[in-house]
Structure 1
Amino acid sequence: MQNTYDLIIIGGGPTGINCGIAAAEAGLSHLILEKGVLVNSLYHFPVNMTFFSTSKLLEIGNTPFISHSDKPTRREALEYYRRLVEKYQLNMRYYEKVLSMERNEELLYHVQTSKGDYYANSVVVATGFYDTPRLLNVPGEDLPKVKHYFDDPHPYVGQKVLVIGARNSACDVALETYYKGAQVTMAIRGEAIHDKVKYWILPNIENRIKEGSIKAYFNTEVLEIRPNEVVLKGPEGEFTIENDFVLAMTGYQPNYPFLQKLGIEIEPEGDCLPVHNAETLETNLPNVYLAGVVCAGARINKLFIENTRDHAELIAQRVKEKLVEV
């Protein structure tokens, strides 16, 4: 059968690339399907972003990650992963969205995409979580001025910006837009900035709030977003602030509808984990595996690139063993 592989990998991020490298080294034919660009999630990170992790911790495929400083930039990361794909000659298809997956009578998985049909003995789902923001689910969230991703501070110069959230991303965005000339307000559900905010960010944001440079409303939630204002609710009731842009840094989650569409079950309570064996990474579907941060479900701060690098080799060896058994 044409377009048949030992392993199909859904997702062309760092974990998907790592799985492709492990497959190649194990002698497995593979295909990586990516709905966007190479490392699509990283590409949509802020233009001037610097990683919290060191380049050493981000290395995959036993290939050194050389950066100008201890913590690499987004630009350096994009170049690193591009070179990995070239070095290992990974079989990757870009701008090809997976539409469905079914197991046929020959026990092969038929993966249908926006551009074609492919078949595989085994499948790895390495889709991460960054593509699916946690929504506020309030009226007006669909307005063009509402952003769940931050790219560059320049569009917000001289604008009234509301930043929603109290973790690293929200604090970083509030500071960066403030320093570029935005009038920044923060809406925070809790009573303080989150205590796990990075040590080099926390005192800065707390001092800007204390001096009044950034206005912060604590114990406050968003009720409605309007074209020129936002309705908030705090300890003293509802109030309205003038607003040009809303940057909702409320976090992200796995694409649960997509996982369920593939046939992967989701635990209904707790961390909403996609069902899988923690030791083998195999899901409720035979020969279908999870790899990377998607394994953590809603606990997105539990797994990272650096502590899931072993997933790729584990899965590749498992797939190879099963092929030998057949």
Structure 2
Amino acid sequence: MSLFDWFADRRKGQYVANVKQEPDEGDGLWSKCPECGQVVYLKDLKLNASVCANCGHHHRIDSAERIALIADPDSFQVLNADLAPVDPLGFKDRRAYADRLRESQASTGLRDGVVTGLCRVEGIPMGLAAMDFRFMGGSMGSVVGEKITRLIEESTARKLPLLIVCASGGARMQEGMLSLMQMAKISGALERHREAELLYMPLLTHPTTGGVTASFAMLGDLILAEPKALIGFAGRRVIEQTLREKLPDNFQTAEYLQEHGFVDTIVPRTQLRSTLANLLRLHGCKPMELTSA
């Protein structure tokens, strides 16, 4: 047995993230809510922003649905859509990284795990990034970091407020240090945005973990979150083993973080656009035309 195989065998199954999986809806007309067990008509679920009308559970949605909920109709202008990831390390664990990329690109129709652009919210222009958990767990690689950084720089140059919708398992291990340095790069761009006295709001959705939480997810002027979203850095099991004590049942939820001062407000998805517009107006942002990027 090689040294690599020995480490792989030792790690197998030890640190599995406790993220509740959404059921496969298939091609049917109905879906069962994973929270309350209610059978929901899919058309009604979509009309309610993929929020269960019975219990309020927020089903996971993709980046396109997220943008449609936030941006005014036909106002979103995509930026840097041509950027695509490469495999700088030739990384391979049980499968080659290049194969994982091709599979995610085929299943999602995206080049990488974030969509960035400019939009308007009730007429107010804003920079917007929406991470997509379907693409390798929303992991942050060099292209995700570059697209977010370019969006921040574009927003700074245009004097625009900024919203980043976070949904990520953290830094992408297959890119090694190139992935980790995105934390510092994005944070530096956000500091220049802050020095220009511009508003930045991250929206933490289920799940937001790892290096994303440790960087731009927690650097906002106002930190927003969706109800019951899992938000943390390390996994619950790892923390309990380190501290040798039992953690509260609601540990690492949006409600727990708000109670302890890490989240400013929890916004139900159905109220998101109106809430964002009110916050933008309170910070002096005004409706105006958005010129092409």
TM-score normalised to the size of structure 2? 0.26
User: Relative contact order, CA 8 A, sep 6+: which one is greater?
Assistant: 1
Larger Rg: 1
Q: Judging by fraction of residues, say which structure has more strand.
A: 1
